[in-house]
Structure 1
Amino acid sequence: MAEPILVGIDIGTTNLKVVAARPGGRVEAVVRRTMSVSHPIPGASEFDLDALDHDLVSALREMVDVIGAKGIEPAAVAGIGVASIGESFVGVDEEGRRITPCPTWYDRRTTNTRSSWGMNASDWFDITGMVDDDIYTVHRLAWWRAQDAGRFERVRKWLMVADYAVFRLSGAFAASPSLAARSGMADRNDGKWSAAILELADIEVGALPDLVPSASIAGTLTTEIARQTGLRVGTPVVNAGHDHPCAGFGCGLVQPGRMMDSVGTSEALKTVAARPFSYGDVGGGRYDCYPHVVSDRFLLSGHIPSSGGMIDWLLRQLSGPAPSAETAALLWQAAEAAVPGSVGVRIAPFLSGTGAPWNDRARRADIAGIDAQTVPGDVLRAGVEALGGWLAINLAQFESITGAKAADLILTGGGATRNPLMNAIKGAMIERDFVLPDVTEAAGLGAGLVAGVAVGLFRDGDDAASLPDIEWQSVRFDPGLAEAYRTVRPAVIAHLEGEALRT
């Protein structure tokens, strides 16, 4: 029998990606569509789900054509897994028609309603595993009810984005634990919707999709979607879950003790836990700890909202009025020539708040220690050192929480992971090696692997995450550079923590 194909759909902030891969991790096709976002009023950001409806079908159709050109029949597709960003939601009526907008996860019209329920932060965390914030769906629903109570009452089901895509493909209303956690309405301890939170928030459990176990088949591809895409009627459809744990799964992150640094516009440090850590375990709810995309595992996660985004911002500011690739290359050369410690220049890289472990959304970036001798290379290097310091702080926290010391870190994400100077500085700051998997679409691959677990292609999540077809590159830290940063690191960390600058 021919080796099967697994399809992962990754619905992200910027792009929709459809990935077709072999069970061992070898990718056969990647199809992309741009996510369309509107801004109807200041502060509002809403996904265009008309565009998503169209693009889901057209991207799957194109994927079928791409694999068909390689001699792979649509019948080889063993399952389709769907992953998405969290927090965003849409309401559908009795006929399954969308009757509300779909605010993006970064839409800023909501406020944190948790304290108004009389629930303390510790109880909130120990149920949901989420850092106390206003971002979650439960708070967004409160805002929506206040804006349009009549339309709110007409909603039959509230769906997060992957839930909605699963419904469009299969007709099933099914949620997954990892994505449901991002709603703020799921109990991570029993894998069910939280009766306590729903009562306090005045949400009926019947208005939510069925919360099924991780890596479960939600439904099968409808006749109409099969006709439009060329896929087989009845192909299993799986709600793979939240895109972050799917991305970890796509890079083999499934065993406790392994840690991963995921770098893009933002950056996240992640590791796997065998149990849900409590509010006290994570230093007073400083880190998310919620279900992984396979059963009986949890993801401990902390992020900084602007990482690669901060570096891109520095490059633009240092490039003058006409940024170019050539100017950026010169700036990186200058940063490499700068001395460790950047001659006392210190940066707090908080363009959009601190992220973990302080979770201070109001704090903003700053640059200190500049004098008449400061050159652009010092400033760019200081930005990279700040991100290395952020990683060092959070890695130490993770190791304290888990009791495990990672021998090396999986490094994944965008082009920043292929930047030799960034990797060298960050590796020296944490005194660890990195390993880079040859995976370009980790969340899409991970979603496909979750579907593979659901349909029985793998014995379990560990088997799926073995990824025998993936090549790994080792990036070893330089002991000499690490020695130089032992002297500098306290001052870098002190600036991140808001203390007086120490040179």
Structure 2
Amino acid sequence: MASCEPLFLGIDVGTSGTKCVVIDARGVIVADATAEHPVSYPKPGWSEQDPEDWWRSTIAAVQQATAQSPGCAALIEAIGLSGQMHGLVALDAAGEVVRPSILWNDSRSSAICNRLQSRDPGLAMLMRTTGNRVFPGFQAPKLLWMREHEPAAFARVAKALLPKDWLRYRLSGEYMGEPSDASGTAVFDCAKRAWSDELLGALKLSRALFPDIAESPILSTRLSASAARALGLRAGIGIAGGAGDQAAAAIGSGVAAEGTISCCIGTSGVVFAASNQWRATPNGELHAFCHAVPNRWHFMGVMLSAGGSLRWLRDTLAQDAVAQAQTRGIDAYEVLAERAARVAIGSDGLVFLPYLTGERCPIPDPAIRGGFAGLDIAHGRDHLARAAFEGITAGLAGNVDLMRALGVRVDEVRLSGGGARSPFWRSMCADMFDASVCLLASDASGAFGVALLAAVGAGVFPTVDAACAATVRTRDLLAPDAARARAYNAVKSRARTAAERALRVEQ
């Protein structure tokens, strides 16, 4: 690291901890650190955190990161912020937290969401004003829940912030948001990149509750003296608007412009595609949000149980694979992939529906449930493994196909998450997506993505596109096989048919 080279700090407030990344002007990671914070589950379906725990973990992570390189703290020129989306941080007129933050995975507002979409104000108005369905995790339904169930606390609320925007307030003393994260509140007009006065009026929520909006790369606030002392940084450092966690990770993956999409296969699965123009699905089958790039948008398909379905298979029906993996010194998922590879495409008619916890995209149905369809006495454990891989990948491919149907170009898919480590699964993705897939050569975290946004805001790069082109590299490009891609079309068709007949549970 050159002695006077400017550095940029990315901070990502996740559900389990805060991650910090320090990069130089070439996008090389100089230091990184993570500090944990707790989650509270006070009732079934509830998920909360104390925002002050985010502040404590941010201080710890920043101090740990900057301690890794002598003089690092003095060279930081700008900060970018990312964080878990959708959470509600309710503040009073003095800026004090009114109640614990209600998180993205909290379902207490389910009945309110059903009401909003069925009649008050109805799905048609939601789609017209925001381009999206509303889900229990989104912020605005949580405010409505407070108004109905905690009226005294709601009466004190003067500002409603998202988690990373609360951290911005703690860092700068100012209320400010940005479009990508605001898109997930359920009251943001994504086409206009502004709060929807029409929808806020229909819900009887004051526009004054929500912060002003500045685009993601803009250094819209400055680090206060008190926050600088706590972090060990210089006062006055610019703070970029940043992004919600998914848009931030997309920037870290180089997915800034249309043509390249990302697919993260973790416990859940997320397919993310940039769009150079505003467009939305007719019935909200995909999230259509603002991107962290000015005048760009993105589609996002969220599959609730991707790797989680494979973990379920391992833990419930494939304990022998775990034992075998331990004997051979490999991962149990490698054993499952080996078993799946022994069965022909289509699993001899066996279909797995990965809806173990409901589904969000492209089937927005929390009541749908999964299972095996077409199970035959001739099927064995290898068929179960193959069907599971195919069912999960078909669900992800359904999002890719829907994006294509909307006119989005799909030139390349950048894979990440635990599932991307499997060569077998990567090949299946290429064939079922009918697109070339690749891996990222280095860190693709949200913290890295918003550090790049901070560098853009500081003028190191003229645009977000330029920052991604200069810093993000890929490896292991794999093209689809035309014959296998055709064979997988039948698999996807059977999966769609089985999904239409899937069981629903009472909510």
- 1:156 and 1:423 mapped to 2: Cα distance? 48
Distance 2:80 2:400 in 1: 31
Which of residues 351, 358, 372 is equivalent to 2:356?
351
Moved more, 472-481 or 373-382: 472-481
2:249 equivalent in structure 1: 247
Mapped to 2, the partners of 1:50 and 1:63 lie a distance apart of: 20
Amino acid at match of 1:102: S
Once residues 139 and 431 of structure 1 are traced to their aligned partners in structure 2, the CA distance between those partners, rounded to angstroms, is 38
- The answer for the alignment partner of 2:26 in structure 1 is 24
Counterpart of 1:287 in structure 2 is 286
Q: Secondary structure at the match of 1:347?
A: strand
Distance (Å, rounded) in 1 between the aligned partners of 2:94 and 2:319: 54
Q: CA deviation at 1:190?
A: 3.0
1:117 to partner: Cα distance = 7.3
* CA displacement at 1:127 relative to structure 2: 2.2
Pick the aligned partner of 1:402 from 399, 407, 420: 407
Cα pair 1:178 1:293 within 8 Å, conserved? yes
Distance 1:456 1:498, change over 3 A: farther
Question: How far apart are the structure 1 equivalents of 2:413 and 2:501?
Answer: 27
Give, in angstroms, the shift of residue 115 of structure 1: 4.8
**Taking structure 1 as the reference length, what is the TM-score of the superposition?**
0.91
Match of 1:433 among 402, 415, 436: 436
- Cα 1:263–1:23 change in 2 (3 A) is farther
The CA distance in 2 between the partners of 1:115 and 1:347, in whole Å, is: 30
2:344 aligned partner? 339
Q: Note if contact 2:81-2:243 (Cα within 8 Å) is conserved in structure 1.
A: yes
- 1:353-502 aligned at under 5 Å gives the runs 353-402=358-407, 404=409, 406-412=410-416, 414-468=417-471, 470-479=473-482, 481-482=484-485, 484-486=487-489, 488-498=491-501
1:135 Cα deviation after fit: 3.0
CA contact (8 A) 1:122 1:285 kept: no
Are 2:104 and 1:105 aligned? Answer: yes
User: What amino acid does structure 2 have at the position aligned with 1:291?
Assistant: C
2:77 counterpart of 1:73 = no
Alignment CA distance shift 1:181-1:376 (3 Å):
same
**Residue number among 173, 179, 184 corresponding to 2:186 in the alignment:** 184
CA distance in 2, matches of 1:323, 1:225: 48
Shift of 1:480: 5.3
Distance 2:474 2:352 in 1: 35
TM-score by length of 2: 0.91
Q: CA deviation at 1:88?
A: 0.7
- Are positions 1:40 and 2:45 aligned together? no
- 8 A Cα contact 1:350 1:363, kept in partner: yes
Q: CA deviation at 1:53?
A: 1.8
Per-residue deviation, 1:118: 4.3
Letter in 2 for 1:411: L
* Structural RMSD (CA): 2.3
Bigger mean CA deviation after superposition, 253-262 or 161-170: 253-262
Q: 1:151 to 1:492 in 2, by over 3 A?
A: closer
Using the aligned pairs only, state the percent identity: 26
Correspondence for 2:166 among 164, 167, 181: 164
Contact 1:331 1:376 (8 Å CA) reproduced: no
- Determine if the alignment matches structure 1 residue 89 to structure 2 residue 92: no
Partners of 2:429 and 2:437 within 8 A in 1: no
Match of 1:204 among 198, 203, 206: 206
**Whole-angstrom CA distance in 2 between matches of 1:213 and 1:484:** 44
Could you tell me whether the CA contact under 8 Å between 1:172 and 1:218 is conserved in 2?
no
**Kept in 2: contact 1:129–1:276 (CA 8 A):** no
Equivalent-residue separation in structure 2 for 1:417 and 1:480 (angstroms): 22
SS in 2 for 1:50: helix
Distance in structure 1 (CA, Å) of the matches to 2:268 and 2:356: 11
CA–CA distance in structure 2, aligned partners of residues 391 and 247 of structure 1: 18
What residue in structure 1 maps to residue 329 of structure 2? none
The alpha carbon displacement at 1:194 in A equals 1.7
Counterparts of 1:463 and 1:122, CA distance in 2: 38
Deviations 1:168-214 (A, max 9, x none): 11111111111111111222233322211222222222222222233
In the alignment, residue 454 of structure 1 is paired with which amino acid?
A: G
Does the 8 Å contact 2:334/2:422 carry over to 1? no
Indicate the residue corresponding to 1:272 in structure 2.
Answer: 274
Gaps of 5+ in 2: 327-331
Aligned pairs, number = 492
Question: 2-side partners of 1:362 and 1:165: how far apart?
Answer: 35
- Listed as ranges, the gaps of 5+ residues in structure 1 are none
